[in-house]
């Protein structure tokens, strides 16, 4: 089936064909609203296919809800992958894309008061009126309406999959009070929140065993390659990868003035194109933020169809490859510094020593998860003698301390909501961090799909330019044909070249 039109006017006939096939490749790319029922669904929904004349199609759940439709209780639109379409579009499209990336991050949510739009517009350097106009023109909803849908769908997932109290769900979903939460739920879904509780979510739960939720992704997804990438780089005590396609990791999340410390285990269910996530009780209060981070770390929102359309000519064997991210952008950045100009194994050894010396012990029910990666505040105060005693050379000592201070004291943001050009410039201004390291951090921590570490030695070998006079320049020139998916091109080049990336690709 040909790829659907991704222009402002959605191709309804292509959407209906995808709906009839229940093709998971289109999950999250559009939603089908059925006029005879008032319900909107994902294209993978297994209910009886509605008649064509009863269908309306929307690119975003917010559009369907703004038009008066309620989410399906069977296919559950909140489980769908996010729309992460990138292109070299006009300024309005870029602005809308940057705004929705910020609004999709639960860490930035607050009650949808009158200041939210102004704060977002100020962050993007435009007026509140202009931002609203862009959203209305491109999505047919305002930024606050878009945000409200994200919050309500998050609450719907927590109601269905957890036994969290209603008050806790309201706060975790970004509402300032239960009253406002109940009012928004009734207004949009015409249901009381307790009516959406599943019987399984109210059963007695074994304390300490965690809370389980499911997350969708679009196929193809090369699960083995992703897990192999993390297995090669895991730090004992901080993470594990086992033979049951499970990835486990400890995690610290500082939200506001509170610090949450716990663990998570993610297991792939390839048959359903889903990830089963189990989160420790200590992280339940920030479950939406954990889900958001894991989706980014495992690149669950990638659109293989759009990526393959650009890259398959040069890299025909990489359809299911994703760009591995990180649950903690600071950890990724430190490990990128540690890995400069040494092998994967050597950098992993240094990272292990760093965790053993500076990491915080964590009690968990899993023997393989026992320590947290050092906090920025800890490494910001690390002495040269202490770092040197671990085998870290002076240049990287200075880079690690400066990086930690930038995060702890100066508000350097290392996640997908960051201003990418500004963050790359800020990173390169730190001692010991050059273009390669900054681009690598942008690729994996900032989730920038068009990052390109042109100076990577393994990339030069994979592209066959290592013997030329200016290999980085040649690699950069070749990469222009792969925009805006150069991060994926790098991963495919590494894989096709059968060469483990060096010079920092160990994080």
**Residue 151 · residue 175 · CB < 8 Å:** yes
CATH class of 12-77: alpha beta
pLDDT at residue number 201: 47
pLDDT at residue number 204: 45
pLDDT at residue number 87: 59
pLDDT at residue number 86: 67
pLDDT at residue number 85: 66
Report, as residue numbers or ranges, the catalytic residues.
Answer: 41, 456
- Concatenating the DSSP letter of every residue in 47-86 gives SPPPPGGGEEEESSHHHHHHTT-EE-TTT-GGGSPP----
CB atoms within 10 A of CB 358: 19
What is the value of pTM for the model shown? Answer: 0.92
**Residue 146 · residue 100 · CB < 8 Å:** yes
Domain ranges of the chain: 12-77, 91-202, 329-496
What is the homologous superfamily of the domain 329-496 according to CATH?
A: Hypothetical protein; domain 2 (1.10.340.30)
The candidate with the shortest Cα–Cα distance to 229, out of 126, 322, 357, 90, is 322
Strand (E) positions, 59-174? 70-71
pLDDT at residue number 248: 98
The candidate with the shortest Cα–Cα distance to 116, out of 69, 163, 176, is 176
| Spatial separation of the C-alpha atoms in residues 273 and 506, rounded to whole Å | 28
First to last CA, the chain: 38
pLDDT at residue number 437: 96
Radius of gyration from C-alpha coordinates of the chain: 23
For the stretch 121-130, contacts whose Cβ atoms lie closer than 8 Å and that sit 24 or more positions apart, written own/partner, are: 124/95, 124/98, 124/99, 126/95
Q: Indicate the burial class of 331 (C-beta count within 10 angstroms; 0-12, 13-18, 19 or more).
A: buried
Structure tokens at 399: 């880079």
pLDDT at residue number 498: 40
| Spatial separation of the C-alpha atoms in residues 248 and 36, rounded to whole Å | 44
pLDDT at residue number 433: 97
Q: Show pLDDT as tens, one digit a residue, over the chain (507 residues).
A: 333 433 346 899 999 999 999 999 999 999 999 999 999 999 999 999 999 999 999 999 999 999 999 999 999 999 999 986 665 567 888 888 889 989 999 988 865 455 788 888 988 899 999 999 999 998 999 999 999 999 999 999 999 999 899 999 999 999 989 999 999 999 999 888 988 775 444 444 555 678 999 999 999 999 999 999 999 999 999 999 999 999 999 999 998 788 999 999 999 999 999 999 999 999 999 999 999 999 999 999 999 999 999 999 999 889 999 999 999 999 999 999 999 989 999 999 999 999 999 999 999 999 999 999 999 999 999 999 999 999 999 999 999 999 999 999 988 999 998 989 999 999 999 999 999 999 999 999 999 999 999 999 989 999 999 888 899 999 999 999 999 999 999 999 998 864 444 444 444
CATH class of 91-202: mainly alpha
| Spatial separation of the C-alpha atoms in residues 255 and 42, rounded to whole Å | 32
| Spatial separation of the C-alpha atoms in residues 396 and 354, rounded to whole Å | 13
pLDDT at residue number 477: 95
pLDDT at residue number 8: 46
pLDDT at residue number 501: 45
């Amino acid at each position: 089936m040909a790829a659907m039109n991704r222009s402002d006017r959605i191709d309804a006939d292509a959407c209906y064909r995808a709906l009839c096939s229940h093709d998971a490749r289109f999950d999250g790319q559009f939603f089908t609203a059925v006029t005879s029922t008032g319900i909107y669904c994902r294209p993978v929904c297994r209910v009886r296919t509605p008649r064509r004349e009863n269908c309306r199609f929307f690119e975003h759940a917010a559009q369907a809800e703004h038009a008066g439709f309620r989410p399906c209780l069977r296919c559950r639109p909140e489980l769908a992958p996010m729309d992460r379409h990138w292109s070299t579009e006009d300024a309005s499209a870029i602005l809308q894309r940057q705004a929705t990336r910020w609004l999709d991050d639960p860490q930035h949510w607050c009650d949808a008061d009158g200041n939210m739009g102004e704060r977002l517009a100020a962050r993007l350097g435009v007026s509140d009126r202009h931002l609203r106009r862009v959203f209305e023109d491109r999505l047919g909803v305002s930024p606050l309406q878009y945000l409200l849908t994200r919050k309500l769908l998050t609450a719907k997932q927590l109601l269905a999959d957890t036994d969290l109290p209603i008050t806790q769900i309201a706060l975790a979903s970004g509402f300032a009070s239960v009253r406002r939460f109940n009012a928004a739920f009734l207004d949009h879904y015409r249901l009381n929140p307790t009516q959406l509780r599943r019987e399984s979510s109210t059963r007695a739960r074994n304390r300490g065993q965690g809370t389980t939720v499911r997350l969708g992704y679009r196929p193809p997804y090369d699960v083995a390659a992703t897990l192999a990438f993390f297995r090669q780089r895991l730090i004992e005590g901080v993470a594990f990868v086992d033979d049951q396609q499970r990835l486990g990791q400890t995690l610290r999340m500082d939200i506001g003035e509170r610090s949450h410390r716990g663990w998570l285990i993610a297991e792939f269910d390839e048959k359903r194109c889903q990830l089963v996530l189990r989160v420790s009780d200590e992280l339940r209060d920030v479950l939406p933020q954990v889900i958001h981070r894991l989706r980014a770390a495992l690149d669950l929102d990638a659109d293989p169809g759009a990526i393959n359309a650009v890259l398959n000519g040069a890299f025909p064997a990489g359809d299911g490859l994703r760009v591995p991210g990180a649950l903690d952008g600071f950890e990724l950045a430190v490990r990128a510094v540690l890995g400069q100009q040494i092998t994967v194994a050597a950098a992993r050894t240094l990272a292990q020593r760093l965790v053993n010396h500076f990491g915080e012990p964590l009690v968990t029910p899993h023997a393989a998860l026992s320590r947290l990666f050092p906090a920025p505040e800890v490494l910001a105060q690390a002495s040269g003698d202490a770092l040197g005693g671990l085998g870290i050379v002076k240049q990287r000592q200075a880079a690690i301390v400066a990086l930690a201070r930038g995060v702890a004291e100066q508000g350097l943001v290392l996640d997908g909501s960051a201003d990418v050009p500004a963050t790359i410039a800020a990173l390169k201004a730190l001692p010991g961090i050059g273009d390669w390291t900054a681009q690598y951090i942008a690729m994996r921590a900032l989730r920038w799909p068009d990052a390109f570490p042109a100076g990577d030695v393994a990339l030069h070998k994979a592209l066959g330019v290592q013997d030329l006079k200016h290999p980085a320049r040649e690699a950069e020139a070749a990469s222009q044909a792969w925009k805006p998916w150069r991060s994926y091109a790098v991963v495919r080049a590494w894989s096709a070249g059968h060469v483990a990336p060096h010079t920092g690709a160990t994080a």
